[in-house]
Structure 1
Amino acid sequence: MKKMAIVGLFLIVGCVLGYFVLPTLLLPTSEISVNNEADIGLDEELSEGVEFIDESTNFIEQKQYEKAREMIENAKESSDVLLNYTNHHEYGENYLNTLINCTDSLVHVMELSDANDTVGTIGHANKFLVNFSNLKTIGAELTEEHPDIAEKLNIEETMVNLRPVEYDIMDFKEEYETNKTAPLLSISFEGNSKEFTWKDHLGKKWNFKIKISDRRYNRYINLSHEVNESEDILKFVTAEDVQVREIAQWFNDTYSDQEDKANCILSFVQECVPSIAEGRADYFKYPIETIIEGGDCEDKSILFLSILKAEGYDVAFASYPQHWMGGVALKGDLKRVKNPYSGVPIEGGGTYYLCETLDKGFKVGSILEEYKNINPLMLVIPR
């Protein structure tokens, strides 16, 4: 009986091994590794497709639209190849297809904008806005759930490059609908790309990228910079500008504490925006100009206050003879400065703590000794 039981056990084990293992041993190596090869092929095709789109956008920037279309067709071929992989990644494929649609719309937008075909431009611009909205959604999901794939697809860089186009299109449409005539400035893909890296008041390192289109930059250059009275300065605080809001939104993820967040923004303005002498004490710049060009004390204070206001802070200018600072309203005592300048009391509670934007290393509430015994002229920025 024992021998029969042992024999039966061996038969059962043999059947199991024969059913599950033997077919694998008999299969060619290439068929066994098909899933791994599919994954590798998927990565290659996705990356190649995105590279074609990158080349296409380079041609768009050079206004070589036919070459841009050729690259889009190459990207479509990469997308078609993905269908051959049974193990393809749905998000990656959707991202590439949506990026292709986005870029295809962009070629038409730029070409028609250059040709001053306003109606045609807006028609394709609407398609771009829909496609880009979808792209942002898919890109965010990929970044959160599959950061390795998102990095390979260069999603962050793509968003940095396409957001200014989205902003330009929205401005272009608004100008056309408001004035009922073709906007003076065409939609621009060219622009100034900036990458900022710095350490804040607590020594924490930060980094972010932004691109400002030539259209947006030229728009502010062409606006009036005339200041006849102090209230004229208020127009330079453009907290409503979409890219100022973009910067402010980025700082939302730094600190929840209001004082620390204000200090982080202050350190950014001090460290990342060049301090330059303008030669004219009465020449004020808009924040977009200052980000690109740098600026002096009033320009950097305007930028600082614009970001703070976009973040929801109450802010004010502090004017001294031959010098400007920013003021930010905070309640309670400061935590990061041992002996802060007392600041300027606010009716109803709170204090405008002064901020030195020109020189590095100053925290909210700390200012140069030479200004501590001088009462500044405060110009409150309306909410």
Structure 2
Amino acid sequence: MSSAHDAHPGTDADAESMPVDGIGPVRGRGILEVPGLGLGHAGEFTPGRLTGLSVVAPPSGSTIGVDVRGGGPATHETDVIAPGTHSYGADGIVLTGGSALGLAAVSGVVDALAEAGRGFPAPGLPGTVIPLVPAAAIFDLGRGAGPVAPPRPDEGAQAARDALSTGAESTAGKPSAVPRREVRGSLGAGAGARSGFQTLRSGLGSVAVRLPGGVTVAALVAANSLGSIGTSTGGLWLDPLLRSYGFDLPRVRGLPVAAPPDAAAKNTTIAIVATDAALDPAQVTRMASGAHAGIARAVQPSHTLYDGDTVFGIATGEHALPTDYEAATRELVTITAAAADALSLAILDAHVSAAPAGPGCQQPQTLSEIAPDFASAFTAAF
């Protein structure tokens, strides 16, 4: 099977792509393979400014969770979606650049959602809604040649409006009805991303996994890790996972040698894992927690004091778990394992899809420039 090679900003991600027998990993529309989700991006990919943000708008009634594992997180409103809170959910989830400075862009997302009537109804105040928008940020400050310019509130509003337009037109079970929306490459929260002690360009990646029972699990990631995706002797940390899915891909060699950690303490991998299964707040939090294994398998080291690794979870509720307790538990384990696989593959997708920085912009090389045979084979594999 094949899908479009989304190596440049602005490339659409709606090429039809299905796993073998309809089961297994698929790049295709990435996280938009889960019906009902909205997705929007804003920011810049220019020599002077490499930053942006991405907004996912869950459908009404979705359950939300989060798990923070990194030692240096920059987050917003993560406590309000923890199990044991009022469990309203979230009206949008933001992945942004700009470190803590980039979290200011969330105010624009909130404003746009409120204008659209999306939010928690304010008690005793008819017509007033309070959008709940959890967010996490990567450190990409200073990666363009211009002054420090993190994502702005107006860009947050733009990304939110785009996400709402995608979600409003998404029709469950009819992928062709979803608007053409980029899901990977050097855009949104991944515009300034790097990895491997800042020696390799990365970006935004997204992969879905279809399970035998009809459930879909997908990941969207801004991959900006301290750790490297490649081993010191050649090859990828993810080679065993790729082989387990039957992918016979060229070996990756010649990745840049990593610098000492104190030269690159500007990192963090942030992600959203989503499923169309019906999960309660504790179960969707467990899915987000288990998905962190996908980071640990894809990059080493992971979850360091220099990273703020954060994974959000969304469950839209289309497919109910079995009523039998043991069967439901097995299904949750399967969903959680698929979330980890989807996140691992999405991190690799982020590196394959990263665009060259272009003339006048001194940036590390991309994986596609270093290992073009591998990149081509990866994008054609599923």
**TM-score per shorter chain, which class?**
under 0.3
TM-score by length of 2: 0.28
- Which structure has the higher relative contact order (CA within 8 Å, separation 6+)? 2
Which structure: larger Rg?
A: 1
TM-score by length of 1: 0.28
